[in-house]
């Protein structure tokens, strides 16, 4: 082991991450990124070892590597300095819901912005916004909060995510993704969440808003040169309606345009024919973008 470069066995010993896992992460997530020595063997700089040590600590707390590998050292260090990020995020969701149910929703914006700053956008989306969306819908259905509270949360998180999205680089054309919802689907928070995740991965994003007619989705994909159409589906439309419209859209789209669909509305769909890719988790976006980029 030199002062500057570490072999893969050095990394395994120093970080606690197995060699085969390091190779899988390299292929799947694009990190770590070793160079090769004169014998063609992987060697890693010290900076990557330090990041991998922190990733291992956070992974041992239950966090998924897909959420961690793109974070900078300072972000990882900030997370490891706290006792349990997943537990903290869960407590944050309970606190935000309590604010809504107690009539203190006017303070949501400042609190959400503080949590975004604390966790970083990727973890904020997966561990705060996603479970909060579900909790708010459940609380409204059970009568614990009113329509005003639900609308207040929706507008607040929409504003926070819009600002966050505007601060991200525009991304590249490979892949370029057209994002929208099916006709009848009015919920657009999922679109903003996916747009943020795609931008974090360097994808080009075209936002088409909500409730776009199927024929117009096709026209938009062609005119924008999008290789992927992404559809956000909430659970309010109904399983059969979502499945039927996705199949129709797939038939209308050119064969070389991929169709992705995600959100709570597709979680009960085991599969769809005609090459519709279903996403049940935000963490699936990163490897999917990488795979699409490799194909193109």
296 residues of the chain, pLDDT tens digit each: 445 899 999 999 989 899 999 999 999 888 999 999 989 999 999 999 999 999 988 887 667 788 788 888 888 887 776 655 555 567 888 889 998 888 877 889 999 998 888 778 888 898 899 999 989 988 888 898 999 999 999 999 999 999 999 988 876 777 999 999 999 998 899 999 999 999 988 899 999 999 999 999 999 999 999 999 999 998 888 888 999 999 999 999 999 999 999 998 888 776 666 688 999 888 888 888 888 887 75
| Shared domain check, 212 and 190 | yes
Domain shared by 95 and 57, yes or no: no
The predicted structure's pLDDT at residue 181 = 96
**CA 10/CA 201 separation, integer angstroms:** 29
> Residue 76 falls within a domain, yes or no?
no
pLDDT of residue 89: 66
Residue 293: beta bridge partners?
Answer: none
| Residue 245 within any structural domain of the chain | yes
- Last-in-domain residue among 147, 166, 185: 166
Give the residue from 166, 186, 218 where a domain finishes.
166
Q: Is 78 domain-assigned? A: no
The predicted structure's pLDDT at residue 84:
54
In a domain, 24, yes or no: yes
pLDDT value at residue 80: 76
Same-domain pairing of 180 and 291: yes
Q: How many whole angstroms separate alpha carbon 124 and alpha carbon 135?
A: 15
Q: Please count the structural domains in the chain.
A: 3
This prediction has a pTM of: 0.71
How far is residue 206's CA from residue 225's CA, in Å, rounded to a whole number?
Answer: 10
Give the range of the structural domain holding residue 153, as residue numbers without chain letter: 85-166
Which of 166, 185, 208 represents a domain boundary (last residue)?
166
Return the SS3 of 224. Answer: helix
Strand partners, 204: 176
- Give the integer Cα–Cα distance in Å for 135 and 145: 11
Same domain, 39 and 127: no
């Amino acid at each position: 082991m030199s002062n500057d470069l570490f072999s893969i066995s050095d990394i395994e010993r120093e970080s606690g991450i197995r060699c085969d896992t390091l190779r899988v992460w390299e292929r799947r997530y694009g990190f770590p990124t070793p160079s090769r020595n004169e014998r063609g063997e992987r060697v890693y700089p010290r900076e990557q070892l330090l990041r991998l040590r922190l990733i291992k600590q956070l992974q041992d707390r239950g966090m998924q590597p897909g959420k961690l590998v793109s974070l900078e050292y300072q972000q990882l260090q900030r997370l490891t300095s706290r006792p349990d990020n997943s537990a903290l995020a869960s407590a944050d969701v309970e606190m935000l819901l309590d604010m809504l149910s107690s009539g203190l929703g006017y303070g949501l914006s400042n609190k959400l912005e503080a949590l975004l700053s604390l966790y970083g956008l990727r973890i904020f989306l997966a561990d705060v916004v996603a479970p909060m969306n579900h909790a708010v819908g459940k609380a409204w259905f059970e009568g614990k909060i009113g329509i005003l509270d639900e609308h207040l949360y929706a507008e607040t998180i929409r504003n926070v995510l819009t600002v966050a999205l505007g601060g991200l680089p525009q991304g590249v054309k490979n892949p370029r993704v057209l994002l929208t919802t099916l006709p009848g689907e009015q919920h657009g928070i999922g679109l903003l969440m996916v747009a943020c995740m795609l931008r974090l991965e360097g994808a080009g994003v075209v936002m088409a808003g909500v409730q776009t007619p199927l024929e117009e989705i096709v026209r938009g994909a062609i005119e924008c040169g999008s290789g992927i159409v992404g559809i956000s589906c909430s659970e309010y439309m109904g399983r059969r309606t979502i499945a039927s419209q996705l199949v129709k859209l797939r038939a209308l789209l050119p064969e070389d345009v991929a169709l992705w669909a995600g959100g709570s509305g597709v979680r009960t769909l085991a599969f769809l024919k005609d090459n519709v890719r279903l996403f049940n988790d935000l963490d699936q976006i990163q490897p999917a973008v990488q795979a699409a980029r490799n194909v193109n």
